[in-house]
Amino acid sequence: MTDAPATQKAPGSLDLVGAGPGARDLLTFRAMQRLQQADTVFYDRLVDEEVLELAPPAAKRVFVGKHVGAHAWPQDKINAVIVAETLKGRRVVRLKSGDPGIFGRVAEELAAARAAGIEAEVVPGVTAACAAAAQTGIPLTEHGVSDILVLTTAKCKADDPLPDCALYAKPGTTIVIYMAVRQAGDRPVSRTV
């Protein structure tokens, strides 16, 4: 029986973490733990500075954010660097605003990790729809009033048509449209149907 050399670094880890709607006290406990253990944090534009402060002072912080019309890093590059950093044996956190599974491109990052033999953990976060509903006191669903919840986006691939919200606009349905600021003037949206 042979022991591994003492200099061999343990395999890295990759956590795709939801940062929630911004405030540090709205992070999940697991999100906070993963940040506190991180060696490297790749973060988006909408992640608040107070959330980033939870990472150790020595942790490397890399901005990979995107905003309308300008992407600091293309998604393929983000996929490549989170995998490369993890394969170096580092504890990597890919920090995304809201919940990584709600229009956060987490499927692409998971696929890149799996292709490299990395089992990534997805740590959910409070999504913008839930945070806005809580802040305004208007529930997303209500017994006998709204039993269906539709989350959709106004931002698609260049060649893809925008979702037709009229298809879902039926009594008893709440529709939440993410990333709709640019289209807000073009498409009237009513609070109730």
In degrees to the nearest 10, what's the CA dihedral of 18, 23, 28, 32?
90
Give yes or no for a contact between 49 and 30, defined as CB atoms under 8 angstroms apart.
no
Name which of 68, 72, 74, 22 is nearest 48 in CA terms.
22
Within its chain, how far is the Cα of 44 from the centroid?
A: 9
Active site residue 88: no
| Inter-residue contact 94 to 82 (CB < 8 Å) | yes
Catalytic residue status for 60? no
Tokens (6 digits) for 188: 């009237």
3-state helix, strand, coil in the chain (%, to 5): 25, 20, 50
Identified catalytic residue from 48, 60, 66, 155: 66
Catalytic residue, chosen from 15, 39, 44, 99, is 44
Return the active site residues. 44, 66
